[in-house]
Amino acid sequence: MSFGEPNNPYGQQQGQPGYGYPQGQQPPQPGYGYPQAPPVQPYGPGYAGGPISMPGLMKAARVLLFVVGGLQMLMGILFAIGIAVAQDMRGAADAEGDLLAGLGFIIVLFLLAFAVWAIVLGLRFSKGGNAVRVATIVYASLSILGSLVNFADGEASSAVGGVIGLAIGGVILASMVNSSASAWFNRPRY
């Protein structure tokens, strides 16, 4: 007897040929018990990633702070020069004129303080913590309030400035209250 004879009842059984198109291999049977753990890195987790970049909306708010601060600085200097020239041209000592000039210089100092505040906030965006974010929210809120006061003035020229200031303050405020700003200012610093 030979092993290769297909009609031998005592030999090794042969598989039956399939019908139709030949089928592929059967998938392996799934394992039993708990799933395996992920492979372990041989040398620890490695270094933290490189420095993360500032989100785009934060960059836009930072640029707007620099632009607004620069314009406020320029306008404050021009107003101070205008008040000084008007004071010199008036000549005679006038109590009412001196009071208005003093009030004008107080407004100029207020404008310059806001300009310095905006520039310092813009500079602190890269390293600052949550306090910078809160201070920027306060700055943007005061900017929006000032723009609304311009609307209440009722003149067309102040309304245009109010719309521009309202838009800039709104963009700065919106960029500070979203989740990417919170994540940026609360990130770990090494």
Tens digit of each residue's pLDDT (9 = 90 or more) over 10-31 = 766 666 666 666 666 666 566 6
Return the axis-axis angle of helices 156-176 and 130-153, rounded to nearest 10°.
Answer: 160
Residue with tokens 């309202």: 166
What confidence tens digit (pLDDT) does each residue in 148-174 have?
888 777 777 777 778 888 999 999 999
| Distance from C-alpha of 52 to C-alpha of 47, rounded to nearest angstrom | 14
The domain locations on the chain are: 56-185
Tokens 């492979």 locate to 39
DSSP string, 84-140: HHHHHHH-S--HHHHHHHHHHHHHHHHHHHHHHHHHHHHHHTTT--HHHHHHHHHHH
Closest Cα to residue 181, out of 54, 50, 66, 68?
54
Read off the pLDDT of residues 38-74 as tens digits, 9 standing for 90 and up. 766 666 665 655 557 888 889 999 999 999 999 999 9
pTM: 0.68
Tokens read off for 18: 């399939």
Does pLDDT of 1 surpass 60? no
pLDDT value, residue 121 = 94
**Cβ(123)–Cβ(116) under 8 Å?**
no
End-to-end CA, the chain: 82
Report the candidate in 132, 163, 131 with the shortest Cα–Cα distance to residue 148: 163
| R_g over Cα of the chain | 37
What is the secondary structure of 131-166 as a DSSP string? HHHHHHHHHHHHHHHHHHHHHHH--HHHHHHHHHHH
